[in-house]
Structure 1
Amino acid sequence: MNKKHLLHSLIAGIIGLTLSFTASADLASVKSKGILKVAVYNDFAPFSNGRTAPQGIDVDIAEALAKKLGVKLSLLPFDAGENLNDDLRNMVWKGHYLGYGPADVMLHVPIDPLLTNANKQVTFFAPYYRESVLLAIDTKRVPDFSNLKDLVGKKLCAAKGEAGANVFFVTDNGSLTKYVRIMNTAQECADLMIKGEVDVIAARRAELEASLSKLSSAQLVPVESPILPPKGWIVGMAIKADRPDLGEALAVALDQLRRSGELDDIFKKHSVKFVSP
């Protein structure tokens, strides 16, 4: 081996050792500081909601993960950006230009090949829930339902900017559009249904289960639409790609929560059925 090749080999070895040390030191750093910084979305009931004292499924999962790692939780609630790439940049691998973030880990990230390919700086891992869009139908007001076309003339509701609203808008060349009432959140739609002012809501399963748990006449039914993934979508966690030891520790902690039943209990606490990814 000549001197040039030897030098390259030595440099490669040093880089490899440095990366390995950095990865293991990163988990040690979290434990030595005694804090796990977890990013959760603002205004995202029932997973994380409440500006001053966030509550929800993701908040409880974050607390349980920190406990498993033997550290305290530091929540980093944040407003959703223009797209998920922005959220991942701000909260996972770089931080916001105003100095907020990044966190050690971000929760409720879709585990999606397109998203993965677009964000090489990020590791997506530990799926913990399968979300989907459903219809909530007040059976007192809509006793018979077979497909979306049956909803012509009914009082429909969805949250602005959400997939549920788009389901109504694209159905049958827009025939349902004039019957749709758009609110800020699915919770507001649920409040209207409880008052008898709305017949059908399209929203995420978890939102509907949590907000309509006490309305016995509300029936949740699957909805088929060309704009929806047929099996819903899986959500999990995201960390910066150069933090594998931390990711492994969090994955092990989540698996322990799942096996012990604690994860299921967290969902039940918020009136949501745990749907395995």
Structure 2
Amino acid sequence: MTKISYRACIAILALVCLFLGISPPVRAGEDFSKITQSGILKVAVYNEFAPFSSGDGGIDIDLAEALAKKTGLKLSLLPFPAGDDLDEDLRNMVWKGHYLGYGPADVMLHVPVDPRLMKQNDKVEIFAPYHREVVRLVTDVRKVPQFENLDSIAGKKIGVEKVSISAVVLLGAEDGKFRDDVKIYPTATAALEQLKAGGLDGVVANLSEIESVLRADPNYRISEVTFQRLPPKGWVVGMAVKKSDPELVKLLQDATNALVTSGEMAAIFAKHGVKVLAP
């Protein structure tokens, strides 16, 4: 299973209100004692999830390294393929482990900070929001000289990633008005590379994906677009640990706060061409 299942879940979760305020209790737990005794922090990240985690590295991989350093632990990275839904990912990588033998990790990154997800996963603690993701339209200014609203891309070839929130909102926009012009790609990166090659007029994708591929190229315009079913402020991602690990929650929350305050978090994102958006 690829990261597409994760995208499908995001397409659902991003359509509800998002939750930010978290204040976990603090007390020592058996799991935290095992972590400190081993001196190793096991961090789960998604496979093939550029620009956050892939074979070439990524934001979440660099963040995992920074968290381990801040907490005085050695990093053990656990890349994993997305399951059928986020509940399965949390079960496999946070509180139970996969039946094939890998996992769980001590912490999983890039978990939506979402009240519904929290409610249906009472064995995990979701906390430490570190980025806000938003959907944007990027167009080639040589092919779309001006952009005022979605009508500006009528008849233009627009790429999206399959089974993503971008595909859902664009295909459904204005009663399917743009459906015949939408081109489906296996990943947002593939669509963006096709845009650079001249095969598309624009792409609808997460802003982080757009920024990481186009790197502020002046030939491309990034525009905010309004879709009826898309939250205007996007959705927030953070991390998750077992519910029984409140001391680990405090340790990682403090480390995350330190990375933000020092500017290290922004530097991690900037390394990959992405501007961190505060949750």
Question: Normalising by the residue count of structure 2, what TM-score does the alignment of the two structures yield?
Answer: 0.88
Hey, what does 1:184 align to over in structure 2? 186
- SS in structure 2 at match of 1:23: coil
Hey, what does 2:32 align to over in structure 1? 27
Runs of 4+ in 1 over 6 A off after TM superposition: none
Hey, what does 1:154 align to over in structure 2? 156
CA deviation digits over 1:75-107, x for unaligned, max 9?
A: 111111111111111111111111111100000
Hey, what does 1:221 align to over in structure 2? 223
Q: How far did residue 113 of structure 1 move?
A: 0.6
Amino acid aligned to 2:46? Y
Hey, what does 2:14 align to over in structure 1? none
Q: State the Cα RMSD in Å.
A: 1.6
Amino acid aligned to 2:45? V
Hey, what does 1:47 align to over in structure 2? 52
Q: How far did residue 234 of structure 1 move?
A: 0.5
In 1: Cα distance, 2:217 partner to 2:29 partner: 50
Q: How far did residue 200 of structure 1 move?
A: 1.0
Amino acid aligned to 1:59? I
CA deviation digits over 1:37-88, x for unaligned, max 9?
A: 00001111000011xxx51000000000011111111111111111111111
Q: How far did residue 22 of structure 1 move?
A: 8.3
- More relative contact order in 1 or in 2 (CA 8 Å, sep 6+)? 2
Q: How far did residue 34 of structure 1 move?
A: 1.5
Pick aligned residue for 1:260 from 247, 251, 262: 262
Alignment of 1:177-256 (within 5 A): 177-213=179-215, 215-256=217-258
User: Could you say which structure has the higher helix fraction?
Assistant: 1
Hey, what does 1:90 align to over in structure 2? 92
- SS in structure 1 at match of 2:32: helix
Q: Retained in 1: the 8 A contact 2:26–2:246?
A: no
Q: Retained in 2: the 8 A contact 1:26–1:245?
A: no
How many pairs were matched up?
255
Pick aligned residue for 2:70 from 46, 68, 71: 68
Amino acid aligned to 1:47? F
Q: Retained in 1: the 8 A contact 2:26–2:250?
A: no
Amino acid aligned to 2:228? P
- SS in structure 1 at match of 2:240: strand
Question: Normalising by the residue count of structure 1, what TM-score does the alignment of the two structures yield?
Answer: 0.89
Hey, what does 1:77 align to over in structure 2? 79
Q: Retained in 1: the 8 A contact 2:26–2:247?
A: no
In 2: Cα distance, 1:204 partner to 1:73 partner: 28
Q: Retained in 2: the 8 A contact 1:31–1:69?
A: no
Q: Retained in 2: the 8 A contact 1:136–1:200?
A: yes
Amino acid aligned to 2:150? L
Q: Please identify, of 26-35 and 97-106, the stretch whose mean Cα deviation from structure 2 is larger.
A: 26-35
In 1: Cα distance, 2:28 partner to 2:151 partner: 54
What are the ranges of 5 or more consecutive residues in structure 2 without an aligned counterpart? 1-24
- SS in structure 1 at match of 2:31: helix
Percent identity, aligned pairs only, is 49
- SS in structure 2 at match of 1:202: strand
In 2: Cα distance, 1:21 partner to 1:223 partner: 42
Q: How far did residue 188 of structure 1 move?
A: 1.0
Amino acid aligned to 2:276? F
Compared CA separation, residues 182 and 21, structure 1 to 2 (3 A): closer
CA deviation digits over 1:116-160, x for unaligned, max 9?
A: 111111101100000011111111110111222322210110111
Hey, what does 1:8 align to over in structure 2? none
Q: Retained in 2: the 8 A contact 1:93–1:121?
A: yes
In 1: Cα distance, 2:92 partner to 2:68 partner: 21
